[in-house]
Copies of this chain bind each other. A is one copy, B any other.
């Protein structure tokens, strides 16, 4: 059903934007750009308890921005860009709209000057 799909997308956006709204979580994403890292490696620069960091990673995982899988006795995390492009697309519909308006304004000014 279409409504269903819209709600789903909405929930995804909720999760992604909520995940991005916290600086500790953005810091985790930044660290993951250097490559996969264990929970411990991600937690140590965070001025926060280990369990606290694990919760943040859980939020990112829930938003599908991070994947966490077991390896040996540690869990290693990797970046997932898919949901970020979804968020980017959503935002772009607004910035596109804005640029369109600017173009119209420019045209109007040009016309007025002639």
Contacts and interface: CB of A to CB of B under 8 A. Distances in A.
Contact of A94 (B13, B18, B29, B92): B29
Contacts of A13: 20-21, 23, 26
Given A14-B23, A17-B20, A22-B14, A88 B92 contact: yes
A10 B27 CA distance: 10
A18 to B, nearest CB: 4
Q: Which of A13, A18, A20 has the most CB of B within 10 A?
A: A20
The interface residues of chain A, by DSSP majority, are classed as helix
A95 interface: yes
Nearest to A15: B21
Question: Which range contains the number of A residues in contact with the other chain?
Answer: 20 to 34
Interface of A: 10, 13-14, 17-18, 20-23, 26, 29, 33, 79, 81, 84-85, 87-88, 91-92, 94-95, 97-98
Contact of A81 (B18, B20, B94): B94
A69 to B, nearest CB: 18
